[in-house]
Amino acid sequence: MSRALIVVVDDDEAMLESVAGALRDDYAVRAFSAPAPALDELEQLVPDAIVSDIVMPTMGGFEFRRLYAKRFADRRTPFLFLSSLGDAETMVAGLEAGADDFVVKPIVAELLRARIKALLRRRGPAKEAMFRGELSRVPFTGILQFCEAKRFTGELAVESDGLRVTLPVRGGELDPDAASQWIDRLWELGEGSFTLRATTPDFSGLVAVPRPSEGLPTGPCGRLSTVLVRGRRLNIETEYVGGDAPAVVSLVLAGSDPVAKFRKRVPTDADAAALQSLIDAHHAEAEAATHDRVSALRHQWQHGAAPAGARALEGLGEPQPEAAPDVGALFDEGFERSRKGDWAGALACWERALAVDPTNRTLSINVEVARKKLAGSA
């Protein structure tokens, strides 16, 4: 079995080497002198835990933790912070930022290793993440949006009316060589099912131990769907989160921004079948609650009483200023036009959106599909 991968981030070179050296006998270790290059490398690495200093130039440890959680929302990576600031206020701020534990400098190697071991034990064994859904609830272009927002790496399996296709996804993008012959057909599917299975990168080049054998995930399967609210699409994803307080969690996203979260505790004696039923039921409840919550917030906005944290949902279904086009609104408008056969209108929407967000791979695919449709009807 391969060793757990620990990422260490500290701007002090002596401290960085001290911490990394204390862990190398037991773990595979990658060391970084700043959070920014670590975030870039973590596009390809899935660590079992991250050890980070708090006070660093340019980007502090708490901000690093926040950006990591936003960029890799599907991961449950524990964070252990190193700090010479052992006061209660700093620790409270760290816990609110998502810290799982602290070690106060100077570092005692035996204590650090014990804390890491405890973190990994609470986290439990790593499992492949898996989501499934219906194409009638999540169009193919919505699946691509989800993959791109999550920078998903793994495989996408689609089944519909005798069609079975499995495509590799790397860093949120479909493999162009494998997907090119299927894009047009998959784009038009309105019925069927899909499954997303996340895979873990091969760390065999980092540690001289055999890689564990692969197989299908044995854990529960998450759910993914979209809810249309006044012309805008919200992604809803539900999955099981283990640990000391296991729960089923539903996250509602507008684009890549989380706007609501629903959580339900899971009985400790729930078996796999019961857990899957809980996930499915909680997902349906989250869909209904999202409709109700948006309706209530819109009523509050109209009367000037919306809570400060609700602004991420403001403007659903409202026209956006011409000077600042909303990429999400243009994306959804283009999709609705394409469903009605208005490919020229869809192309116009997506080209405007792509001009604002030229790196959006899903928009690029939509533009390509729309152009093919228009060329074929000419």
Q: Which residue has the tokens 């993440």?
A: 129
pLDDT computed for residue 141 by the predictor: 84
pLDDT computed for residue 7 by the predictor: 96
**pLDDT < 50 stretches in the chain:** 1, 126-127, 201-218, 308-309, 311-312, 314-324
| Sheet hosting strand 49-53, strand order edge to edge | 28-32, 5-9, 49-53, 79-83, 101-104
CA–CA dist 127, 121 (Å, integer):
14
Which ranges constitute the DSSP H helices of the chain?
13-23, 35-41, 61-71, 88-96, 109-123, 140-150, 176-179, 183-188, 272-302, 327-339, 343-356, 361-377
pLDDT computed for residue 24 by the predictor: 92
Q: Where in the chain is the domain with CATH 3.40.50.2300?
A: 5-123
Q: What is the pTM of this model?
A: 0.49
CA 13-109-105 angle, to 5 degrees, is: 60
pLDDT computed for residue 229 by the predictor: 62
pLDDT computed for residue 231 by the predictor: 59
Q: What is the pLDDT of residues 244-279, one digit of tens each?
A: 677 888 888 776 667 678 888 888 777 777 888 888
pLDDT computed for residue 104 by the predictor: 83
Q: What is the pLDDT of residues 45-55, one digit of tens each?
A: 888 899 999 88
Which ranges constitute the DSSP H helices of 72-188?
88-96, 109-123, 140-150, 176-179, 183-188
The highest-level CATH class for domain 5-123 is alpha beta
Q: Which residue has the tokens 């193919």?
A: 140
Phi, psi of 288 (to 5 degrees): -65, -40
pLDDT computed for residue 205 by the predictor: 38
pLDDT computed for residue 35 by the predictor: 96
Say if residues 238 and 222 touch (Cβ distance below 8 Å): yes
